[in-house]
Every structure is written in structure tokens, then in C-alpha cells.
Amino acid sequence: MSSRPNKSKKGSVFGSSVFRRAVLAAIASLAVLLALGWLVHSVVRESEFDLLRAELSDTREEAEALVRDEGLEALASALAHDGRRIWDPDDLYFLLEEEERVVRLLNADDETLAGYPGIDPPGGLIDWYFLTHPDLGDEPLIVSREAISDDYELVIARFVPGRVLYNDEVMWLATLFLVLALGPIALISAYFTSRSVFRRLDAIATTTSAIGFDRIDARIPLSNKDDEFDRLAGGVNDMLDRIEALTRNLEGVTVDVAHDLKTPISNIAGRLQLIERDAGNPQAVEEHAGVANEHIGTLLRTLDALLRLGQIEAGARREAFEHFDLSELANELAESFDPLFEEDDKAFEAEIPPIVAVLGDRNLIAQLITNLLENTLEHARDGAKVWLELTAGHDHAKLVVGDDGPGIPANRAQDIFDRFVRMDPGRTKAGNGLGLSLVKSIAGLHGGTAEVVATEPGLVVAITLPNSALIDV
Amino acid sequence: MKILLVEDNQETADFISRGLAEAGDTLLHVLNAEEGMIQAGSRAFDVIIFDRMLPKMDGADATEVMRKAGLETPILMLTALSGIDDRVSGLESGADDYLVKPFAFAELYARLKALARRKPLAQEAPTVIAVGDLLLERTTQRVERAGQVLDLLPREYRILEFLMLNEGQLVTRTMLLDRIWGYNFDPKTSLVQTHLSRLRAKVDKPFDRDLITTVRGSGYVLSAQ
């Protein structure tokens, strides 16, 4: 089995999908350009031919009028050139220059009465008729051949102007060039447009596949352009930071859980051995059993706290939220804990206005406040001043629990909410290091925050809970 | 007491039946919810212990069925679950109390006693409770001992009332946390102990004889003897 299932080979811009799309886009735009060129060209040429057709029909009307008024003979003599009714090929050369017009009057037997005999188109109007001339070669004409009286036909032709021919030539050359150059142009423009996109995406792909392999600390480099790629990369990096933190935390937590469970279990095992040894001494057995029970209690409390953390962080309890009187709850807890602080030689003060309600789980908030107070009870120095304050902001309630010593090192302020974190390195004091994690989880479940607002002289923790309301009194 | 135990785990059942036998109570043990419901229907028991996790049928569902059928016997639910919502759903199904495994036998027994006594007490609803020379008037919340009025805080009054309602019986720390504080979590501090010692300073200290005694590791008993 491959150890790198997702590790793709170093990508090439030519194989990328963005390049293929850019090629197609370039081809499509060139094709559109060409089609547009031909469209314009054909419109222009059609208007040129309309002009020529109008001139042909004008000439015909003049000829018809002449025949009607003065007879066929008059037309025949009017068509004479240089006194000759029948033109010879040299005349044509001149006429082409001067009048841009060739005519032929002929009878039913195809005999030419006047004009140039060398022109013999089929009947009707023809846009492109090629007249073969000994000197000029093939000349394109627009030509009409129609009856002018019962037995006579008149052929009128005009040379297609040189500019029309020129335009045609240019169009065909351009088309030929574009068709031949289409591939290379599309490839080159696609390369340049797709290169930067490809590079940015490739950087993301390279980083993510590195993470997929083994390097969770890899991050996507940002370009500082603050464009959509930077936003994507930034988002992915943020996600990775969070995943990495969670992973590291989980690794740490696993070790800590093992440690915290192993200690009481070892103690229980030790006591069981002592019970075996002292089987004959009921008093000693009772004492060992009592100690073992206490350790089991510790173990169960740790497991219970872990289960609660898991449930709270899964967020399942939010449906059961309801508005309750936070002031009343805080007062009740303050009153409950007051004797404990007194016994512990600490001066406890609570400042709780009577009108604050929040949306939440009363039992969990009770646990939150309890855990904060217990933390102070455990860690504040003897004779310390301890306070619980509740204040109401315009849309949130704020709970502050603080003491005036000994506090914690400032650089550890963020750590106190982590699982199994204890500020005494020897882990000698009671507690499982889950109390403040629960506080943060419960605050988080309610959409609020738990923050350390002071680390000296004593620790002060502030909890904000949104969705508060003032109770009408 | 006559007790019905519905429990599929043999070890837990042995643990409970041994304890109850020592205390001199009568126990009927059945292994599944169906049989438990049939036996409960005889209404011959003072308390029913119903395991939550039974094969085929959830103990909470069985309780709900029995309550709908009009059974009034107090039910204590046992469970290995300790999730925050399990307790609520257990009690909502109609159980009267809820205990998480593992538990101390003393804890279970104290709760069984409290449950077995609750019914007649509720029916009589005594307005005055007397234990020895201690007198508690429930309408006025007046407490006096040997004719001397005791000045109690509201919480101290509620603790004393609960102890007196369970006169002569063990009241455990967890029972007090449940009933007086409404906590479904176990605070690590000596919350209950501190309040009890304050209460005792008012109820017992000024007098010759102590009414409240501590049962080490378990809880408290209030008794005139």
C-alpha cells in the first residue's frame, strides 16, 4: 500500500484544468472575432452590391425609355463607342476605366447589334460573373441580361469595384492567418492567464497534501494581495490552526487523563493489597476500604466531569434553554458559599443587583458559578478578599469572580481553561483540573465567553452571557 | 420494607439483596421489565427499584407505562448513565428518585427509606413536626427547642425540616444536595458539611443532648434517641 495515497506528483500548468479552460476560452474568443469580421464584411459588401444593382437598373430604365421614345436604332447608336457599334477588346479596356460599364444589345439569334460581343451571361441578375478578356484576364462583374423588347435582349454589366475585391482578399488572408495561428495564440494566452492562478492553487494543493501526509504544521503562503485566493488560503490556514490546536490538546488530554486515572487506580490497588495483608485486623481493613472508597470517588468525579464536558461541548442541551432569574441563582449560591469562605478565613462579598435574567440552563450556570467559587476557595490565600459581582450590560450579563491573591503567572492566563491544567506542577492539591474547563464550556454553550481579566494581585475571571434581560420589578 | 428489584445484572442484584437481607427487609428480584411490571401490579411493595438499562425495554419507558396504569408505589431508578439529561428524563418518566451506579449501599438504603416513608407523610401533611424537645411548625416556619425559639436561615430551616421528616433515618450528603440545593452535580467542596455544622451549632450546641449525629462517610441522622 502506498504511504502517500493523496500525494500527487508535482502538477504542471499544461495539465491543469484552468489551462484547458483558458485554451477553450481563447479559441472561442478568436472564433467570435472571426465571425464578427465576416459579418461586418458581408454587410459592407452587400451594400456595395446594392449600389451596383441600383446603377444597373438605372441604366436599364434609361435604355428602355430611349427604345420606347426613339426606337431600338437610337439605343444601338447610343451604345456606340468611338463611332463603332460593335466594340472590340481594346475598347473594353478604355470603357472599363471611363464608364465602368459593359453593355451588349443582341437579337434572338444571338447576333450583337451594339456593345461588346464577348459577354454572354445566362439570363437574370448575376452578382459574380467573370468576363474573360485577352489582356485583362478574368474580371468579376455584376451583370443583368433581360429582354428590352420582343426580340431583343440587353446585357448590362458593371465591374465589381477594386475595393470590394481588396476587402475580400484581406478577409480571406485574415481568416487563413487566424485559423493557422489559432492553436499557438490560444496556447500562449492560456498559458499566461492560467499560470498565476495555477501557481496559487498549486501552492494550496502542495500544502494540503503535505498536511495529509504528516506535516500538520504546514501552512499555505499568502500573497498579501488580499484577493479570493488569499481569503481561501487564510480560511484554510485558520481551519488548520484550529485543527492543530485541537489535535495537540487531545494528545495532551489523553496523556493527562491516563495520568489522572492511573493515580487513584494505583492507590486503590495498593489498598486492596493492604486489605489482603491485614485480613485479620478488622480495624485496619475498614481504614483501607475507606481510603480506597475516597479514591474511587475521585475517579468517578473525574469521569463524570469528562462526560459532562463532552456532552456540553456537543451542544445538545441548548434546546432546553429557558429564561431564568440569574440574580436569584447567584444570590442563592453566594449565600450557600458564604459560610465556606468564612470557615476558610476568607472575606467573601457578593454584589448582585436583583433584576438580571438570562436565557440558558439553570443547572449548568449553577455549576459554572459553583466551579468558579470553588476554584477561589481552593486557591486564594488565607485571609484573601474574594468577590462575586453580577452586572447587566444592555444585551448581556457579566459575572465576575475574583480574589486579591496570590494570582497566577501572567503568561498562563489563557491556560487555566484548558483541560487538566493545574497551576501547581506537582499536582498535589485536590481537584482534577476540569473545573475551569467546564466553566468555559458552559459559557461557550450559552454563546458567552470566559476570560481572565487580571492575574495579579489575584486571579479575576469574567463570564459574559448573552441573551440577558432585566426583570421588571 | 417490602421491596421489588428489577435488575438484569446479577452482581448488582446480589449486592443489593445482601444489604437488604442484613437490614431485615424483604426483597423480590426479577430479571426483566415485563416481569417487573407484572409484579409491580400486585401493589404489594413499599418501594420498587427499577434498573434503567434492561434488555428489550428501557426502565424509564416501563415506569411511564406503570404510572399511566395508575401505579403509585414509589420508584427508585438505577442507572449506569450519568449524563446531565439522563436524570431529568428518568424523573420525568415518573420515577421518584434516581441513583447513578456505582453507589454505596448506605446511599441506596437511605433513599429507599425516604421513599417508603414519603407517601404516608404526604397524606397526613403534618403542620407540626416534633422530635424529642425539637418542634417545627411548617406553616409559620417557626422552630423551637425546649421552649426556646431558634433563629434559622431559610436554607437551614429546609435542611432541618428534611432531616425531621426522615427522623431516625440516614440522610446522605447527595440526598441533601438533591433536595435542598437542587444540584445534580457533586461539588468538591464541603458545602453540605459546612451548612450542617452551622445548623448543628444552632440546634444542638446550646443544649445538653445532640439530636443530629454524623454517619461517617455517608450523611446525617436526626433522632431523639
In which band, very low, low, confident or very high, does the pLDDT at A129 lie, cut at 50, 70 and 90? confident
Residue to mutate among A286, A344, A363, with most B CBs inside 10 A, is: A363
Q: Which of A136, A171, A172, A146 is nearest to A40 (CA)?
A: A171
pLDDT digits over A419-444, tens only? 777 766 555 555 667 888 889 888 98
- Tell me: pLDDT of A412 over 50: yes
- Residue A264 buriedness (CB in 10 A; 0-12 / 13-18 / 19+): buried
A289, containing H or E segment:
helix A282-313
- In chain A, what is the straight-line distance between the N-terminal and C-terminal CA atoms, in Å? 72
pLDDT digits over A107-125, tens only? 888 888 888 888 888 888 8
Distance CA B44, CA A320 (A): 38
Q: Which of A217, A230, A79, A222 is nearest to A155 (CA)?
A: A79
What per-residue confidence (pLDDT) applies to A4? 43
What per-residue confidence (pLDDT) applies to A408? 87
Q: Which of B37, B34, B30, B38 is nearest to B13 (CA)?
A: B30
- Tell me: pLDDT of A127 over 70: yes
Chain B residue with CA closest to A340: the answer is B194
Tell me which of B78 and A129 has the higher pLDDT.
B78
Chain A residue with CA closest to B184: the answer is A363
Nearest CB to B84: which of A308, A370, A430?
A308
Residue B3 · residue B23 · CB < 8 Å: no
Contacts of A367 in chain B (CB under 8 A): 183, 185
pLDDT digits over A155-206, tens only? 888 888 778 888 888 889 988 988 888 888 888 888 888 888 888 888 888 8
What per-residue confidence (pLDDT) applies to B84? 61
Beta bridge partners of A385: A347
A343, containing H or E segment:
helix A326-343
Nearest CB to A339: which of B184, B187, B194?
B194
Q: Which of helix, strand or coil describes residue B47?
A: strand
Written as nine digits, the cell of A230 is: 488569499
How confident is the model over A29-46, as a mean pLDDT? Answer: 89
Chain A residue with CA closest to B85: the answer is A317
CA distance A431 to chain B (A): 8
Q: Which of B159, B176, B101, B48 is nearest to A304 (CA)?
A: B101
Contacts of A441 in chain B (CB under 8 A): none
- DSSP code, position B166: T
Tell me the ipTM for this assembly. Answer: 0.78
Residue B150 · residue B203 · CB < 8 Å: yes
Tell me which of A48 and B221 has the higher pLDDT.
B221
The phi and psi torsions of A122 (rounded to 5 degrees) equal -70, 170
Residue A357 · residue A326 · CB < 8 Å: yes
**Low-confidence residues of chain B: pLDDT under 50:** 121
Q: What is the number of other CB atoms lying within 10 angstroms of the CB of residue B206?
A: 11
What per-residue confidence (pLDDT) applies to A102? 83
**What is the pLDDT of chain A when averaged over all its residues?**
83
| pLDDT cut 70: percent of chain A above it | 92
Distance CA A300, CA A310 (A): 15
Chain A residue with CA closest to B183: the answer is A363
Written as nine digits, the cell of B22 is: 442484613
Distance CA A195, CA A191 (A): 6
Nearest CB to A374: which of B155, B184, B188?
B188
Residue A424 · residue A409 · CB < 8 Å: no
- Tell me: pLDDT of A3 over 70: no
pLDDT digits over A248-288, tens only? 777 766 777 777 788 788 889 999 999 999 989 999 999 99
Contacts of A345 in chain B (CB under 8 A): none
CB contact under 8 A, B188 and A304: no
| pLDDT cut 90: percent of chain A above it | 18
Contacts of A320 in chain B (CB under 8 A): 85
What per-residue confidence (pLDDT) applies to A425? 54
pLDDT digits over A198-252, tens only? 888 888 888 888 887 777 788 888 887 888 888 888 888 888 888 887 787 777 6
Chain B residue with CA closest to A367: the answer is B185
The phi and psi torsions of B181 (rounded to 5 degrees) equal -100, -20
Distance CA B156, CA B200 (A): 10
For A71-130, give the DSSP string.
-HHHHHHHT-BTTBSB--HHHHHHHHHHT-EEEEEEETT--EEEE-TT--PPSEEEEEEE
- DSSP code, position B106: H
Tell me which amino acid residue A234 is.
Answer: G
Contacts of B184 in chain A (CB under 8 A): 363
Tell me which of A223 and A409 has the higher pLDDT.
A409
